[in-house]
Structure 1
Amino acid sequence: MALRDSDPSEVGGYRIEDRLGSGGMGVVYLARSASGRRLAVKVVHGQYADDDEFRARFRREVAAARQVSGAFTAPVVDAGADASRPWMATLYIPGADLGTHVREHGPLSVPRLRELAAGLAEALRDIHRAGVVHRDLKPANVMLAEDGPRVIDFGISRAAEFAAADVLTQTGRVMGTPPFMSPEQFSSPQDVGPAADIFSLGSVLTYAATRRGPFDSPSPYETAVRVVEGEPVLDGVPDELLPFVRLCLEKHPKSRVTADELLTLLRDGGPIAPRPATEESIPLPSRPAPATSPQRDTPIADPPPEPTAPRGGRRRRYLLAAAAGTAVAAVLAATTVVLSGALSRDSDPGPSAAARSDLPDGWKPWAAAAKIPKGSERVLGGVGSPLTGCSAVDTSLVCAGSGHMATRFALADGRTTWARPVDPTPDGSSGSEGALIGTTDHHVYAYESEEGETAAGPSFSYTVYALAADTGKELWRTRTGAGESATVPDSTQNAATAVPEGVVTFYGPAGDQYALLDAETGDVRWKRPKPDSPADCLLRSAAGHAYLVCAIGLLENGASRTTVSQIDPATGKTRWTVDAKGTQYLLGQHDGRLVLADTFATDRGLTLIDVSSRVLTVRRLAQARPEDAQAYLVRGTVYFTRDSGGIRAVSPRTGRTLWESNSTVEKPGPPTASATHVYVASPSGRLAALDASSGEVDATRDGRDDGGRADSMLAPSGAPLVLVGDALYVPYGIRSVYTVDVRDL
């Protein structure tokens, strides 16, 4: 849109280049910063600028919005609450919005719908974690960027909603866009919370799949009635997305699932039962505010005395009146959006409740070393190495390595209540250090190695254990192999992995089979032979499914290839197998696709396999992977880390480099990440926190003195970190862990 003579040449020091749109809240401009960064700057109308209450609320709500910085939102980068005309700047997202795209090109394909569903669910999760409710999620507020959808236009409307000068607010303003609103936005707008965004998500996905909303009607009044009382029309929504959409469109907010649960459904494909509602219908206000239709006055009667009363004319008249008020608000406010904190409307929200309490109960900073069980000094004493892995289970941090099969630290204070050593194994065996195979809600899977002597020479045997996380009590044990060629069931060697059904591990005296050990009993439920071809096979898991990944090197033409097979947990047979070029390693799963990286070829790119369609695609990397880099998939981003401390973040969707940085941490271990930061640590516990969007090092912590018991230079890399809410647990030295509140870094 062309700029007008009345438009400013700059706002807040940002040069205005174009007009993107306008509405009841204000005007949106395309602007550019001094460094060349493009921004969307929204300048609110003058009617709000003269109201002190608006400015106070604007300031608080923008502060809350700035906490939202997920991968699928347009982050707030600057704002001016005290300017003559308050304004807010967000990152500009080039591309068409979802509504425009669907109108011009028709409904999205199933793979793009899955991408859209995952991206929007993750965006809402990040928005809600910041104590924010969008309230106007609709196709026009979803941008289809090159590397995935982005949710835009949140951050100032709640301030406007409560402005004293706004007569619509004083008469009970209802905000949103009727076809994409939730039932409670019509009937009880003062009680709207995160669940309203989930309902809108279901409507947006229906539109993206069918080119119409689930409650469409030519009349906004009838639309409102359908939203509150009618059944959604979902004809044309692909079968695989129907459960997702139906869970979103539950009428009662307490029956809807959360954004986190929706992401689990997309990732695992398992059913999620809707929560039972505490009432059969949405509670209505005892005295609905009068509203006037632009066409006629509609009488408003008191609502039914009981929420479960039969639906009749009185309630319908009330809904029509509410919808009429909504239509007026939508026209005058140009379907603005609202920020909503967890506290009451008249309270200063401050930090969200989740942010204030997102630590384990009773948590305090601690550093501790695992105890050496009596009689185990010979096994665990002396020089050792860092723990190979830790996992949070209930109130426990269970770790393994450095001679421990498993040991427990209390999440809150680091107390070690039990420790179980690994029996010694021959020199050169990988079984002597110990490693977790996996964990469930209350169980820990680990293994033990034993060496014996027979007339024919030494004998080796390996046993998988299930332990209770809180006590270390043995629940069951199963021997997986005995003999010189038996395979150590070590997860760090990709020879065993945990899935909901139990432990899938290589099995037998020659390690030439793979088997499932039942989660409850340890019984061998089935066993299958490895492929006959000369292949180097690994067992990996992703999104709760086990995979057999077999690399076949040096074919006749000098190339190599890898087969990726999903294992049926009921029978052990392979459900499907996909061939890929090169020697591939499975990093994990994101957005319904397995993500693999080549172990040797640095220029091959990332290989993606859709687990539903089994379609394989290769994403060329914008920059070749460094030869000495390790690859990890964390929260939908691939990170390449180097011993020098270098880290490169890459989008698996596009292969594009998001950023590259020097963490300043030597030999960084596998990273972990929150919505805002990426964390890495060295073998000595030196820690760095990098901004997840830019890679800038925001904070560091020095390494820990391990009393001279370990030489961190001998360790191959740091151990994996564990993030529980805001508590970060960092293994270091020998059998040692310290914890820190990441907000204090």
Structure 2
Amino acid sequence: MVLRDSDPEEIGGYPIEDRLGSGGMGVVYLGRSASGRRLALKVVHGQYADDQEFRIRFRREVAAARQVSGAFTAPVVDADADAPSPWMATVYIPGEDLGTHVRREGPLPLDRLQELAAGLTEALRDIHRVGVVHRDLKPANVMLAEDGPRVIDFGVSRAAEALGADALTQTGRVMGTPPYMSPEQLTTPRDVGPASDVFSLGAVLAYAATGRGPFDSDSPYETATRVVQGTPELDDVPAPLRRFVEWCLDKDPEARPTPDELLALLKGEPIPPRTTGAPAAGEKPSEATGAPAPRRRRRLLLTAAVGGLLLALAGTAAVVRLGGDDGQVASQLPAGWRDWTTKDTLTAAKGEDPSPSGPFTRCAAARAGLICAGDDVKAVRFSLATGKREWGLPVDSVPDDSSSMEGDVIGTAGDRVYVYRNDQSVPEEDSGTTYEKYAIEAVDARTGDVLWTAPTQSGTGAMAPDLTPDTGTAAATKDGVLTIHGALGDSYALLDPRDGDPRWERPLPDGECRLRAAAGEGYLLCAAGRSETRLSRLDPATGRPAWTVTVRGTFNLLGAAGDRLVLADTSGTTHRSVVTVTANGSHTRRTVALDRPQPAAAIPTLSRDTLYFTLSSGSVRAVDPRTGRQRWSRNSTVEFPGQPLASATHVYVASPSGRLAALDGRTGDVAWTRPGRGVSTSWMGDQGARLTLVGDALYVPYGTRSVYTVDVRHP
């Protein structure tokens, strides 16, 4: 490629000779060292230079890449994460990348495929041995050098031992290239380990053998869905390699082989038996080289995953009925209502950038207003009728930008809205360490005045709490706000709605615990690994369990359907049943088998006594939680739908970009749709907005801190 006038003459003292290429992260140049060695210099785009989180990531990536030998990779020679534009220099590998070669020459013959499989497997073995995960193995990152394939571009690699503890993973960013990403990269990126690279290896070899990826589609969203749920297309992969590729592409990370096992398979050597399975019998990777166990964070059971997709179970979409919904009467709308769209851009703290970059986390209706919270905003009120912004509270300022700056709505009670005060990064005297202080606040829904502030937790580094309702740290009940409490988050308390003072505080029991609310009552769920979950109804007067029911497996409380609580299993590979528990009286437990098992990637939501399973492709299935019978299954036409919200006649789902669909509640047929309103800021795997229905006015958060409303009777 030809150098441009804007390209630098040198980088880090290395003269630039040519431009090798560019991508979403940066530009790659050909440079030369003082000794004459040719180098590939990757310079990240300027838009990332001011992002402190990116610089921290980049510094870690460079440190990880330096640990890998150069036998099968491009060794790191030099780097500067603190330069105005961070850069990294690796040894230049002459040759053609696999993607370019296959597009020009077609699929590789069998002998070259076998050489490629062996070379890439050896490369992954060396990479994983030093605790590194590449995370972006794809044809463009495989160089066909004269002495064999080389894996390049560790731009998104991460030290494997930090995957569970790295606070940066809490941003939920998904990094990689969809056709070659593993299911866990798209669904639970915090849990990605070495097995993810093995999955990518299988996809790369399938591409080299056929000229197309095993999950290819015209739509990147459909591709991602096929990676998570679909069966790979491997008919044209030569038979001698098909078993190798199929084993790599197992959906279960624990069932995939290690590089050593793959090399043994290529050599025709016997593979040591495992406790469960083999290539043809479901073998698991060895304990020594498998993915590390996820970090146990305090005593809090963080947001569970069902087959990888996050269960957004807390804070289900709000429904406030002001009128009928039987299709026979005029629309019931807030007084003076009109169709409106609004975007909040004016709530940043003094001295902060007023431009938001993320969506609203949650909204709730209170006293003729819609109260929303999210990126850089603790709470903002819009008129239900006109969308006029009536007041706003920015998140509290912090001395650096390394902490989360995201607000959230916990719940409402009369004139009050309970919100999270964002974390306060405070230097600890004489130690140089910063610690995070968290609190819950009650805000007057009409005026925005803060009525009280109740400190909840604090911590440093990896011990800093993750405070959102979805993680089970707080739940609004009819008696006040239940919250994880104490400096180390080792107790739970009930905050009095009048002044925020704890009515009582009790130590958390053994196991990983979360707080939930259903039908106004408070519950505590504690899991002992994956073996069992204890569900306890909490006495609002004392905090002691009024009763406890034990269920085998890892379960989450979805809500109440009539007089029964509904729990979903979050640990299995397929949804085959739900558990219901009588909320009052005998609190009897009953396991309800689903007449049609649902895929692990389906996200369950309980709304208006019906259990809905949604898939990122837009599929919505309605199930009766009392009988397990599937009432209907339809494609909503909404990609990455959020939690379904049911009224008396319809079910509503929306995408992150604001695309809206109304499904007939009896048949699931699509009654009407509304197009999206803008570009979504969400990553693949994120769900759409939580909806709020007030009478017949539906409020749809979308995009970047934006909301629109629609009359569902006359859309």
TM-score (norm: length of structure 1): 0.50
Q: Indicate how the Cα distance of structure 1 residues 665 and 541 shifts in structure 2: closer, same or farther if over 3 A, else same.
A: same
Given the alignment, which residue of 415, 425, 428 partners 1:451?
A: 425
AA of the residue aligned to 1:545? E
Deviation at 1:377, TM superposition (A): 6.3
Residue aligning to 2:627 = 654
- Comparing both structures, which one devotes a greater share of its residues to helix? 1
Q: Tell me how far apart the structure 2 counterparts of residues 430 and 672 of structure 1 sit (CA, whole Å).
A: 32
Alignment of 1:43-122 (within 5 A): none
Tell me the residue number matched to 1:191: none
**What's the counterpart of residue 492 of structure 2?**
514
Other-structure match for 1:618: 591
Q: Which amino acid aligns with 2:424?
A: E
Cα distance between partner residues in 2 of 1:636 and 1:530: 31
Match status 1:385 vs 2:358: yes
- Shift of residue 461, structure 1, vs aligned partner: 0.2
Once the 2 structures are TM-superposed, how far is the Cα of residue 486 of structure 1 from its aligned partner?
Answer: 5.1
Task: Confirm or deny that 1:363 pairs with 2:334.
Answer: no
Change (3 A) 1:714 1:453: farther
Superposed displacement of residue 356, structure 1: 1.9
CA apart distance, 1:743: 1.3
Do the aligned partners of residues 369 and 390 (structure 1) sit closer, same or farther apart at CA in structure 2, a change above 3 Å counting?
same
Q: Which amino acid aligns with 1:500?
A: K
Work out which of the two has the higher radius of gyration on C-alpha atoms and give 1 or 2. Answer: 1
- Tell me by how many angstroms 1:406 deviates: 1.0
* Matched-pair contact (CA < 8 Å) for 1:364–1:413: yes
Give the C-alpha shift of residue 705 in structure 1: 2.5
Matched, 1:575 2:575: no
Q: Provide closer, same or farther for how the CA distance between residues 589 and 544 of structure 1 changes in structure 2, counting only shifts above 3 A.
A: same
Separation in 2, partners of 1:677, 1:717: 20
- Contact in 1 for aligned 2:348/2:377 (Cα 8 Å): no
Asked whether 1:475 is paired with 2:451, we answer yes
Is the Cα contact below 8 Å between 1:442 and 1:470 reproduced in 2?
A: yes
Instruction: Give the C-alpha shift of residue 591 in structure 1.
Output: 1.5
For 1:413 and 1:396, the matched residues in 2 are separated by: 10
- Structure 1 pair 429/678, CA: closer, same or farther in 2 (3 Å)? farther
Written as runs of structure 1 = structure 2, the 5 A alignment for 1:49-448 is 355-373=329-347, 375-376=349-350, 378=352, 381-382=355-356, 384-423=357-396, 431-448=404-421
Matched, 1:490 2:468: yes
Give the Cα separation in 2 of the matches to 1:672 and 1:413: 23
**Alignment CA distance shift 1:693-1:507 (3 Å):** same
> What percent of counterpart residues are identical?
47
Amino acid at match of 1:721: L
Deviation of 1:600 after TM superposition, in Å, equals 2.3
Distance 1:662 1:538 in 2: 33
Contact 2:325/2:649 (<8 A) preserved = no
Rounded Cα–Cα distance in structure 1 between residues aligned with 2:649 and 2:521: 28
Letter in 2 for 1:410: S
Question: Could you list the per-position Cα deviations for residues 675-722 of structure 1 after superposition, in whole angstroms to 9, with x for gaps in the alignment?
Answer: 11000000000000000000101111100026xxx5344571112000
1:530 is matched with which residue? 508
Provide the aligned C-alpha RMSD in A. Answer: 2.3
Q: Which residue is 1:596 aligned to? A: 567
| Separation in 2, partners of 1:399, 1:684 | 17
Shift of 1:354: 8.6
Q: CA deviation at 1:425?
A: 6.5
Report the 3-state secondary structure (helix = DSSP H, G, I; strand = E; otherwise coil) of the residue aligned with 1:509.
coil
Equivalent residue for 2:663, pick from 679, 685, 690? 690
Structure 2: gaps (5+ residues): 1-323
**Residue 532 of structure 2 aligns with which residue?**
561
Aligned residues of 1:678 and 1:690 also touching (Cα < 8 A): yes
For residues 464 and 603 of structure 1, do their structure 2 counterparts lie closer, same or farther at Cα, with a shift above 3 Å needed?
Answer: closer
Contact 2:661 2:674 in 1 (8 A): yes
Deviations 1:249-282 (A, max 9, x none): xxxxxxxxxxxxxxxxxxxxxxxxxxxxxxxxxx
Please give the per-residue CA displacement for 1:31-62, whole angstroms capped at 9, x wherever unaligned: xxxxxxxxxxxxxxxxxxxxxxxxxxxxxxxx
- The answer for the alignment partner of 2:515 in structure 1 is 539
Partner in structure 2 of residue 189 of structure 1:
none
CA distance in 2, matches of 1:540, 1:563: 13
| Distance (Å, rounded) in 2 between the aligned partners of 1:739 and 1:360 | 12
Is the Cα–Cα contact under 8 Å of residues 727 and 740 in structure 1 kept in the other structure?
yes
Pair 607,694 (structure 1): closer, same or farther in 2 beyond 3 Å: same
Secondary structure of 1:632's counterpart equals strand
From the superposition, tell whether residues 477 and 606 of structure 1 become closer, same or farther in structure 2 (CA, over 3 Å). Answer: same
Task: Say which SS state the counterpart of residue 492 (structure 1) adopts.
Answer: helix
Residues in 2 aligned to 1:488 and 1:351: alpha-carbon distance in whole angstroms? 39
CA distance in 2, matches of 1:644, 1:426: 41
> Secondary structure at 1:577's aligned position in 2?
strand
Q: How far apart in 2 are the matches of 1:711 and 1:576?
A: 43
The question of whether the paired residues in 2 share the 8 Å contact of 1:393 and 1:442 is answered with: yes
Which one of 700, 705, 709 corresponds to residue 735 of structure 1? 705
Q: 1:427 & 1:388 partners in 2: Cα distance?
A: 22
Among candidates 469, 473, 477, match of residue 499 of structure 1: 477
Q: CA contact under 8 A between 1:405 and 1:446: conserved in structure 2?
A: yes
Q: Distance in 2 between matches of 1:636 and 1:713?
A: 30
Q: Give the residue type in structure 2 aligned to 1:624.
A: P
- Structure with greater strand percent: 2
| Residue in structure 2 matched with residue 326 of structure 1 by the alignment | none
Query: Per-residue displacement from partner, 1:103-162 (whole Å, max 9, x unpaired)?
Result: xxxxxxxxxxxxxxxxxxxxxxxxxxxxxxxxxxxxxxxxxxxxxxxxxxxxxxxxxxxx
Q: Which amino acid aligns with 2:521?
A: H
Query: Within 2, Cα distance between the matches of 1:661 and 1:438?
Result: 31
The one-letter code sitting in structure 2 at the alignment partner of 1:580 is V
Q: How far apart, in 2, do the equivalents of 1:696 and 1:616 lie?
A: 34
CA–CA separation in structure 2 for the residues paired with 1:581 and 1:351: 40
2:581 to 609, 613, 621: 609
Q: 2:342 is aligned with what amino acid?
A: A
- The whole-number CA distance in structure 1 between the counterparts of 2:345 and 2:387 is 11
Distance 1:642 1:352, change over 3 A: closer
* Secondary structure, aligned partner of 1:378: coil
Q: 8 Å contact 1:386–1:715 — kept in the other structure?
A: no
Note the alpha carbon deviations across 1:6-29, whole angstroms, 9 max, x for none: xxxxxxxxxxxxxxxxxxxxxxxx
Contact 2:369 2:445 in 1 (8 A): yes
Residue 569 of structure 2 aligns with an amino acid whose one-letter code is D
Asked if 2 retains the 8 angstrom alpha-carbon contact of 1:487 and 1:506, the reply is no
TM-aligned CA distance change 1:391 to 1:547, over 3 Å: same
Rounded to whole Å, the distance in 2 between the matches of 1:490 and 1:351 is: 33
Q: Residues 597 and 353 from structure 1, CA distance in 2 versus in 1: closer, same or farther, beyond 3 angstroms?
A: closer
Contact 1:486–1:508 under 8 Å retained in 2? no
Count of aligned pairs between the two proteins? 385
The offset of 1:670, in angstroms, is 0.9
Shift, 1:435, TM fit: 1.0
Residue deviations 1:275-326, cap 9 Å, x none? Answer: xxxxxxxxxxxxxxxxxxxxxxxxxxxxxxxxxxxxxxxxxxxxxxxxxxxx
1:74-129 C-alpha deviation (Å, 9 max, x unpaired)? xxxxxxxxxxxxxxxxxxxxxxxxxxxxxxxxxxxxxxxxxxxxxxxxxxxxxxxx
Q: Deviations over 1:370-420 (max 9, x none)?
A: 2423644626525x2221111111201111112211111110000111111
CA distance in 2, matches of 1:429, 1:492: 21
**1:550 CA drift (Å):** 1.2
**1:17-36 matches, cutoff 5 A:** none
Q: Of residues 425, 435, 440 in structure 2, which corresponds to 1:464? A: 440
The 1:431–1:618 alpha-carbon spacing in structure 2 relative to 1, beyond 3 Å, is farther
Give the secondary structure class of the aligned counterpart of 1:432.
coil
